[in-house]
Amino acid sequence: MRKASMLDTPEWLTVTVRAAKVDPYVALNDICIGIPRLLERTDKLAAAGSSSNDVTALIEDSEHLADRAFDWLSNFEKNGPHYDEISLDVFTGFLDICANRVFDPAFDFHYFGAGICYMIYWMSMLIMQGNTFKLLRQHRKLELKQLMMWNRQLGGYADSICRSIPYNCRPVTGYTAKFGCLTPLMVARKYYEMKGPSKEVEAKWCEEVYRNARVPGLYSTPIPLDPMKDVKKTVEGNSRIL
């Protein structure tokens, strides 16, 4: 949701700061929990009109949080990435879920926890940096080189999410991993859809994997590809009324 959480307040973060110094998962979550507040501020600016100072402050705060995330990744990978790139053929059963080799090779993580951290990082950065890019395009003049850099960065996050899916869909990881990777997959799909025809193949790949990788019996009714659709309609309707 695009609402600030009490978990990103200084008072609450002091509870986890000690663990964050030694646990990369805790440290990452302490960064990512700040993203909803940035999204909420973005929505408030759009609804109420924005002053130059407010926009500048929001962009600077977004860049600061992104820098913290970049530092986290640098520290996490100080001894190298925690994955290897291997052929889809190695991931048992994945080609039965989706035979299209759009993302081949895929990531074989060195251990399950590393894969979880990476997916949280890539998904969160795609959301946050996508929001920052939108702000910059609306309120700043970007050169072609900057546009290309942003396009490469955001596309890299989406592609990395998709290359992580086969690892989490292996039978040995059970339903927990399969279920947990579907939300990042839908974030990537939304990015590809927004890119239009140039990323139609990638968007369709995400949709096919999503439909075929669902956990059997978990849902009484088929889950929609956009589970927040009804919520967004309500928010948009309220915005028009206001």
pTM, 2 dp: 0.86
pLDDT at 225: 62
pLDDT at 239: 38
Split into its structural domains, the chain has a count of 1
Q: Does residue 104 belong to any structural domain of this protein? A: yes
For the chain, the farthest-separated pair of C-alpha atoms sits apart, in whole angstroms, at 54
Q: Does residue 80 belong to any structural domain of this protein? A: yes
Residue 224 vs residues 58, 116, 156, 186, 207: alpha-carbon distances, Å:
33, 24, 26, 11, 11
Q: Does residue 1 belong to any structural domain of this protein? A: no
> For residue 172, what are the domain limits?
6-241
For residue range 49-108, what is the model confidence (pLDDT) as tens digits? 778 889 999 999 999 999 999 999 999 999 999 999 999 999 988 999 999 999 999 999
pLDDT at 229: 58
> What is the average per-residue pLDDT within 154-162?
98
Check whether 172 has a pLDDT greater than 70: yes
Band (232; pLDDT cuts 50, 70, 90): low
Tokens for 92, please give them: 């048992």
